[in-house]
Each structure stands twice: as structure tokens, then as C-alpha cells.
Structure 1
Amino acid sequence: MAFTITDFHDLVRLLEQHEEWRKELRRLLLTDELLNLPNAVREFRKHVDRRFAELAKAQRRTEESLAAHRAETDRRFAELAEAQRRTEESLQRLSEAFAAHRQEFMEHRQEFLEHRREFMEYRAETERRFAELAEAQRRTEETLRQVLLRQEQFQRTLDRFGQTVGVTVEGQMVEAVQRYLAERGYALLEPIASLAIDRIGELDGIARVRGPDGEETWLLISVKARLGPHAVHDFVDLLHHAAVQEALRAYGVRGPVLPLIFGVVLDRRALELARKARVGLLLQAQGELVAPQPWTLEASGGSEDP
């Protein structure tokens, strides 16, 4: 029997009344692929959303890394802080807009790439400036090394000169002190010699003498080419030092001593200091300027507090 239009309309009407028939008809007419298409579309949409989320997370990590590097760069170059701030604001806006619209994300991504290009250029400029600073530092260090080398050479020359001058002045001291003692009726009981004291220094001259009254005493001498206030202070401090007094006692020094400074050139400020300290001053060309007064070797210093 032929299937007529009327039969078709009757079938449609029956299908509209029976939902289970419609489902069965769809199962018969549609393939599994078509039936599963809505699920596939939903899964594909979830996959796309997940990929966008991953891209957003990767973008966020990139932004955080870039911001940290920018912060360090800003610390070194404060003048670029404003430009960095604008870059961070632009990147922040890009991150917030990404979830709303992909096209807007692409536009912001392009802006980000432009800023990244600027950053790379800036980084290259920074490295260039660091290289220039390193070269300047190298030149500075080389200059300093040359200065230190010249200073060391000058110091060696100065030391040799000082040794030469010191030996010359000490030789003049011996002659001048011998004349000085003879003019005042003192007799040398032994040669004038220096006395080295471990870790302290040395006395430029020491000798046992007999005075006009027949009493023996010790003459302690400091030699300075330029006789100024420091020469007096240094000599007094040296004689006050416990180790120096112990060395003198070990050398056999007993009883009173006569402290005397011999010099070639005088700073007049040393005169009053020497009088207060009871230290004699003897100049090569001018003779005695201050007569030495007896000291007693005690831990506290001379016979009178200088």
C-alpha cells in the first residue's frame, strides 16, 4: 500500500503526541556522531576555555617576572621609574581584559610585545652602560695601582733619605753633645750609643756621665732634624713607657737621668713645652736653649709631672 501525504501528516501528528516515538525516530535517522555532536561541542568549548586559562596564567607569570626585573632596574636607575610604571599599568590592563575578549587580548598582546621590545632595547642600553662603568672602574683601578706604585717608590726613596739624614744628624749630635758636656764640666764615662727597645723603638743616645760635683748620672738623648712640639711630646711619652723604663733598668740605668733633645731646626712652640716637661733642648748651631732637669725613672714619669 502506497504511503500518502495524509499518512505522513498523520505520522507527524502522532510523533508530536508521543515524545518517546520522536526519540526512537531520531535514533534511527541520526548517526552516533551527530547525536554526540552537542557533547563534542561542549568538550571543545571546555578545551578552548582551559587553553585560554593556561595562556592567561603563562601571561601572568611573564608579567610577574618582567615586573620583578623592572623593579630591580628602577632601583639602579631612578630616572626610568615613570616609564616602568606606565609599562606595568599597561600590562595589568592587558591581563584584566584578556578574559573578556580574545580580540582585545590580541591587541593588548601586541602592545605588550612593543613594550617588551622597548624593554630589550632598554636592557641592551643598561648592559652597555654597565660595560662602560666596568671599563671606567678598570681604568680607575689601574690609575690607583700606578699611584700606589709611585707612592711606594717615593716612600722607599724617602726612607733612604731619612736614613741618610738620620745618620748624619746623629753624627752631628755626638760631636755637639761632647762639646756641650765638656763646656759644663761633665765627663763622659762611656761612649754615646743608641739603645734599641723591642717593639717600642729606640733611644737615639744614652751615656753615663759624671757631673762637676762628682755625681754620676745618665744622659738620655733624642735626635730630631726638626725640633717641634711633637718631638717633645713623643720623647716624654717614650720615657714614660713602662717597657722603656724596664729596658733602661735592665741596661743598668740607676738614679736620676737627664733627658735631652738634639735638633737642627727649631719650632719655637717647643721651647715652653720643653721647660714644662723639664727636658733639655740643644740645637746644632745655637747650643743649649733649655737646660735639662733631673728625672727619676718611675712608672709615673719624671721627678715632676710634665
Structure 2
Amino acid sequence: MAAVGATNVCLRKVDVATIYDMICNHHVTHMCGAPIVLKILANAPNIESLTHPVHILTAGSPPPTTVLSRAESIGFKVDHGYGMTETGGLVVSCAWKREWNQLPMSERARLKARQGMRTIGMTEVDVVDPESGVSVTRDGSSLGEIVLRGACIMLGYLKDPVGTTKCMDNKRGRFYTGDVGVMHSDGYLEIKDRSKDVIISGGENVSSVEVESILYSHPLVNEAAVVARPDEFWGETPCAFVSLKAESGQVTEKEIIEYSRERMPHYMAPKSVVFKDELPKTSTGKIQKFVLRDIAKSMGNGALKQVVH
């Protein structure tokens, strides 16, 4: 943007009031932010519609559809992408189709929550079986590992041949991202989780992202993150960390669990809920799941053997 004469407005920290002030005072038209920043903006109390449209590019983790709907109702035009340091930036973008504008808001949000299609410079974006390297069925439900191939992919990690070997397939020229995803029939990629964040409960794979999306649909939930908690019976169970909106009333662990069980298979629903004033984040606003995993482990084994999946 600066290359074409735009003004960069910089923030020293993520603060919702400051962001809205900057948008108004500097007439900001384009901005970037992790999905958690989008959530903070969407859930801010007493926020009226923007006086002008603001395009916001988000990436880093899949944004919940409820957050996308709320953000767009305020006046944000959300662009969704996917990339990482190893790819030199965004390599997948959720290219918007004009006919989707006629769909209901909930359906538009569902489509926009997908990561999208490969950008210029990428030769391949696919979801494959991590063992065989064969592409999974493009049905929007068959899970596999996301692989990338193209001119902007790194050659390897500096002075780390072991790490390079683990993620690079030099024969095929593929970079294995460690992200779990699905491919839809229209060729759009959708991330389901980081492989390290997948919870294996009673032999079933639970996507923390899918559980978090349901939690974010609760009217009183401000932030949500789900990690594995050790369990003697199931091996692991989903443990939800939740912060509530400032104006919300009291919500109990039982209410959150019941709300989840009504909207997803019971084996996916959180078996324990931890309420916090604010979830730990990086300087860019991403929730630090490794901190939450340590807390969940310190809670000991779950004792909900009577819960039937």
C-alpha cells in the first residue's frame, strides 16, 4: 500500500478503542489482523456501524463464521488468506465469487471462513494422506495434511537439516505444512486444525477449530480456545478455555458443556471448561495454545468416565 502512496498507521498494541479511533481519525481503508483481532473488533460493546467500509485481511487461524457475520454487519469487508513464514507470505486466498453476494449472511460467512485457492506463484495447493502422499477426496470432509509447492516456498531451515527433512519432500518439491485440512469440490481449501492441536479422544479425531467455532456462537463468549486434557479413560478430552464478554452475565461450566453437546457430536464437546478474564496471546494477538496446554496438563486426568460419546 505504501508503494502506491498510502499512509501506514501503526499501533504499539492491540487495543480495540485505539483501533476504532484510528479508523475514524485517519480514515483507514485497509488493515490486517489475526482472527483474534477481528473477534475483538466484532465483539466490542457499544460499537455502531463504520462510517466507511474497511477492508481487513485476516490469516493465521480459521475465523469462526459468527465472527465473520458480525464483522461484516459492522462494515468490515473481510478478506481471508493462508500463508506462513516458510512460504514468504500468503499463498492461498479466498477468492470471492460475485454470485455469492446473493446468499444469506450465514452462508456467505461459511464460504468466507474457508482459506481459498492458490495464488500466483504457487504450483500446487493440496490436501494429501501424510503417509502415501495421495490426494484426499475433494468432498469437504476427508481430512489430510496440507501441502504446498511453488516458487515462493523456502529451500529449508537455516542450519537445521533435520527440521528441513521432516517437512520438505524434495522428490515432489512439496512442503508439508503440519496443518490438517479438507478440499471442497469447488477446489477451495479449508483448514481444520494444526496437527499438534488435533485432540484424539477415544480413538476419534476432534478438531479444536470446529469446537471453538461452536463456542464462539454462544452469545456471551468473547474468546475461546480448545486443547487436549489428559484423561485416564478416553486418552484425551477437549478442554475449553473461555473468556466472557464484558456485559455478559454469569455462565457456568455445565451450561457451556450442554450448549456444545446440543450442537455437535458428544465426543467432540468439551468435558471441562476453564473461565479466564483474558486468554494469553502473542504480540500479534494469536492465542498461545502452548500455555493453555500446560494448564490443561496440570489439571490432571479427567474424571468423566460416565460421559458417553
Q: TM-score band (shorter)?
A: under 0.3
Of Structure 1 and Structure 2, the greater strand share is in: 2
Q: Normalized against structure 2, the TM-score is what? A: 0.19
Q: Normalized against structure 1, the TM-score is what? A: 0.19
Q: Which has the larger radius of gyration?
A: 1
Greater relative CO (CA pairs within 8 A, separation 6+): 2
Of Structure 1 and Structure 2, the greater helix share is in: 1
